[in-house]
Structure 1
Amino acid sequence: MRKLITIIFCLSLSSCFAQSESQKEDWQQLFNGKDLSNWDIKIRNHPLNDNYNETFQVKNRNIVVNYDAYDDFKKQYGHLFYKGDFSYYKIATEYRFIGEQAPKGEGWAFRNSGIMIHGQPAETMGLNQDFPISIEVQLLGGYDDAKPRTNCNLCTPGTTVWYEGKFDERHCISSNIQAAPLNQWVRAEVEVFGDSLIRHWVDGEIAMEYAKPAYGGGVVSGFNPEDKPDGNSLSHGSISLQSESHPIEFRKVELLNLKGCMNPKAKNYKDYYIKNDEASCTF
């Protein structure tokens, strides 16, 4: 009898272990720690993959947005695009602001960067286009004088979202999380559910949520009008990291692909996840 109980216990333990392993989050590392393989560079006023002034570099196993060779920023906004198109996923990065802002960078761009999601492909951006049409998860660093400043805000270059019961036409909407000081590492994570819910997280704490991303709004220039069909829902797109004039390091960029893990018949966002052993599901 004791032997039988032992066998049953071991089988139950193995089953629990296997279940735990099957539900383990399988994050894909988008940055290999060595180079910018699988990434495209687009800097305003420069053609695709012209890494002007070596703005995007890899140093000490980190992606570094660097302005050492700039004597005038000249609104040369840059974006580092990971190659691919994504719809249902989590994207996370660990970042910190460092050093001094580039010469003649705008005041609003002080310790300012972003994760651009649901964006247009890098190759469709105009030569002089400033930002990709996208949803921006705004990454900010705190002020030296400790003046309050929020982090992981929402900005909408060429897009709109449903926020607190209506389509909100503001370009930027603040979160409820305070920005960290210079040189402090922060983990920003974004949950993206196609054209439904999007949520921002900072160091494990929810910062904000909104829904129904769509084309519309302004605060983007130099684009092809065909790439901005105002009113149409926005369910997928590119992912990119921003260069807006302040040096920043990214030590990790990772993605959890939720395609195949979502229940299309779910009546609320809490029931979206399907936790099973489907080969197409990486959660």
Structure 2
Amino acid sequence: MVKSQKIALTACSIISLNLSHAQDENWKQLFNGRNLDGWSIAIENTPVGTDPKKLISIRDEAVHMYADTPLDQRGDFGVIVTNERYSRFHLDFEYAWGPKKLEPRKDMLRDAGLLYHIADPNKRTWGIWPVSMEYQIQEGDVGDLVFLKVRGLTWMHPDPNNSPGQGEAGLQPEAGGTPLFCNQQDHHYVGRYPVYDKLEGWNRVEAIVHGSESAVHLVNGKIRSRLFRITDDAMKPLSEGHIGLQLEGAEIKYRNIRIRKLAAPLSPATRYVALSQVRGLAPASTELEINNPSSEPIALDLSLTGSDSQLFQATLPAGAPTTLAPQGKIRIRIDFKPSNTTPPARYSTGLQIGPADLGTFVVLQGISLAAPEGDNEPPLQRITDALGIPLDVGGGGLHLNTKAPKIGAGVAANSLVRASDAPVRVTPLARFSPPGEIPLRWHSRGDATRKPIATLADSSKKSDAHQCLFPHWIDGKPSATFDPGSEPFSLVAETAHGAIPLDPSHTQPKVDHPARIFPIHTFLGNPVTNAVLVGFEEATNGDYQDALFLIENVRPSDD
């Protein structure tokens, strides 16, 4: 066992993050307090670069929207956009509402917004608004996420009916939010987070953005929302763009607008860590490698935050330095430690490694079981949520439909076909079944001959090998590969109680559909292409997590 030193961790549901070099000279003023040099104007129904109604003015070193606009005049919408583009940055400014509300939002909440990653200010998606990611600025909703024809991974409230407000109900991953890759065609609004803004006086806005990798929205020093994996509408990484400030029918002032370009932050091997633990069986732990790709040392402060932080622990190796050298790497141990009275459920927390601007944030997930097997096992939906896979599996209960041709976001297919000439890769993600080895085999469609892929280990060496996330192959490798050729093929999991076919015509299964195929695009918070989940049902209850595999370089066969 690697000796380690425990690091003092902050456990809370809301944190104000420490920032590195907060007062250094690298801050650049985006607004000089006198004019809009360095910015361009776009207002609806007017030529770009013009403001014939004088909707925008400079007063008391602030950009003042609608300061001189009469109350009986329409408050035309618009945006001011930086001439320069930014990729990795920490943006910081203040805003305050004025008293005016104008048509067409005269009887609505005061509204404005910060736009970033504007690839082309002239490419519009919704009225005057350019294609971009929006940090919402609206009464009670400051820091919400608005996807203006861009896409990204965020987290949703598992019980939205108890989270009233505008848009779809979001919830931070460290508070138990479930992953969702937002990809609506026009715009997608995620909000209903705790309120940190105030109607009177000045509010502080901060956005910490690292290219297409991540973004954090802070309001008055508190984290409101998070975002991973920002892409354009074609799913290509959206890593840079212009920055814009909206005028949207409500009087508003912006001041002290500054930005600091950032170096590449600490890089984790994965942005998600998922562990499982059966009460009384093997402890749940893993190691996470962290790299420093920058040319400067970065502090290695560790802090846990979230609703279940008391169940997790993060430690550095004994004697490890408190900073990570340029191009250096280190492995952090992560433990999931539910007690003997912890109810069976999915548990969440977040691990912040290093400062908010140059460190990294990792989502920690734990699945606790009171005992092995039977109704003690976790439902498939709980498993996919913990693995950072945005997916509707057909229900949140343990028992799913075994008769319907497809369930949830699954497909009605019994075979797969290789997507490219490369080998097919198979990674076991979960196993909740009786003990014993489970060989996984493949066969060509219509051919009874089964060929070996790999075998899941029994519980002789690891007591929970049959009741855990990431079960081992008997050779200890995390994945196995095979080459099925270019023709459609199917899979069979062989258990002590008989063969479980993906194609029901291959054997005589106990249920109509003994296995399910679910196409996926995200795993552990990272993009995957040409990938499916295949879940097998050994008995008759339809839990489809007796053996759950990630199959890559495949697509469901249409033949």
Q: TM-score, normalising length from structure 2? A: 0.39
**Does the aligned pair in 2 maintain the 1:23–1:276 contact within 8 Å?**
no
User: In the alignment, what sits opposite 1:150?
Assistant: 141
Local SS of the residue matching 1:239: strand
**Does the aligned pair in 1 maintain the 2:39–2:82 contact within 8 Å?**
yes
What are the equivalent positions in structure 2 for 1:86-125 lying under 5 Å apart?
Answer: 86-105=86-105, 107-108=107-108, 110-122=109-121, 124-125=122-123
User: In the alignment, what sits opposite 1:221?
Assistant: none
- How many angstroms apart in 1 are the aligned matches of 2:41 and 2:203? 24
Amino acid at match of 1:239: I
- How many angstroms apart in 2 are the aligned matches of 1:183 and 1:23? 27
- How many angstroms apart in 1 are the aligned matches of 2:291 and 2:221? 20
**Does the aligned pair in 1 maintain the 2:267–2:293 contact within 8 Å?**
no
**Deviation readout 1:45-79 (Å, 9 max, x if unpaired):** 111111131111100111101163354427x3200
Q: CA RMSD in A?
A: 3.1
| Deviation at residue 210 of structure 1 after TM alignment | 1.1
- How many angstroms apart in 2 are the aligned matches of 1:242 and 1:272? 36
Aligned residues: 235
Distance 1:272 1:188, change over 3 A: farther
What are the equivalent positions in structure 2 for 1:132-151 lying under 5 Å apart?
Answer: 132-141=130-139, 149-151=140-142
User: In the alignment, what sits opposite 1:253?
Assistant: 257
1:163 and 2:165 are equivalent in the alignment? no
- How many angstroms apart in 2 are the aligned matches of 1:22 and 1:208? 21
Distance 1:237 1:183, change over 3 A: same
| Deviation at residue 169 of structure 1 after TM alignment | 4.2
- How many angstroms apart in 1 are the aligned matches of 2:92 and 2:26? 13
Identity %: 22
Out of 293, 296, 299, the residue aligned to residue 276 of structure 1 is: 296
| Deviation at residue 130 of structure 1 after TM alignment | 1.9
| Deviation at residue 275 of structure 1 after TM alignment | 6.8
User: In the alignment, what sits opposite 2:44?
Assistant: 44
User: In the alignment, what sits opposite 1:262?
Assistant: 264
Distance 1:207 1:30, change over 3 A: same
User: In the alignment, what sits opposite 1:26?
Assistant: 26
**Deviation readout 1:210-239 (Å, 9 max, x if unpaired):** 1111223xxxxxxxxxxxxx3222111110
What are the equivalent positions in structure 2 for 1:196-235 lying under 5 Å apart?
Answer: 196-216=213-233, 230-235=234-239
- How many angstroms apart in 2 are the aligned matches of 1:112 and 1:80? 15
Q: TM-score, normalising length from structure 1? A: 0.73
User: In the alignment, what sits opposite 2:248?
Assistant: 244
| Deviation at residue 184 of structure 1 after TM alignment | 1.6
- Which protein is richer in helix relative to its size? 1
- How many angstroms apart in 2 are the aligned matches of 1:44 and 1:107? 20
- How many angstroms apart in 1 are the aligned matches of 2:270 and 2:130? 30
Structure with the greater alpha carbon radius of gyration: 2
**Does the aligned pair in 1 maintain the 2:29–2:259 contact within 8 Å?**
yes
- How many angstroms apart in 1 are the aligned matches of 2:247 and 2:23? 36
| Deviation at residue 203 of structure 1 after TM alignment | 1.3
- How many angstroms apart in 1 are the aligned matches of 2:295 and 2:86? 20
| Deviation at residue 104 of structure 1 after TM alignment | 3.0
**Deviation readout 1:117-169 (Å, 9 max, x if unpaired):** 001333x246x94211000000122xxxxxxx332101111112111333124
**Does the aligned pair in 1 maintain the 2:42–2:48 contact within 8 Å?**
yes
| Deviation at residue 25 of structure 1 after TM alignment | 6.0
**Does the aligned pair in 2 maintain the 1:86–1:118 contact within 8 Å?**
yes
Give the gaps of 5 or more residues in structure 2: 1-19, 156-178, 272-289, 298-357, 359-559
Local SS of the residue matching 1:53: coil
| Deviation at residue 176 of structure 1 after TM alignment | 2.8
| Deviation at residue 26 of structure 1 after TM alignment | 2.0
Local SS of the residue matching 2:57: strand
| Deviation at residue 188 of structure 1 after TM alignment | 0.7
**Deviation readout 1:182-214 (Å, 9 max, x if unpaired):** 332111100101011110011111111011112
| Deviation at residue 272 of structure 1 after TM alignment | 6.2
- Which protein is richer in strand relative to its size? 2
- How many angstroms apart in 2 are the aligned matches of 1:256 and 1:22? 9
Amino acid at match of 1:267: A
- How many angstroms apart in 2 are the aligned matches of 1:194 and 1:65? 29
Distance 1:79 1:22, change over 3 A: closer
Out of 177, 195, 202, the residue aligned to residue 178 of structure 1 is: 195
User: In the alignment, what sits opposite 2:53?
Assistant: 53
**Does the aligned pair in 1 maintain the 2:94–2:205 contact within 8 Å?**
yes
- How many angstroms apart in 2 are the aligned matches of 1:271 and 1:200? 24
**Does the aligned pair in 1 maintain the 2:196–2:222 contact within 8 Å?**
no
RCO (CA 8 Å, sep 6+): is it higher in 1 or 2?
A: 1
Local SS of the residue matching 1:182: coil
**Does the aligned pair in 1 maintain the 2:147–2:182 contact within 8 Å?**
no
**Does the aligned pair in 1 maintain the 2:78–2:246 contact within 8 Å?**
yes
Local SS of the residue matching 2:53: helix
Distance 1:168 1:275, change over 3 A: same
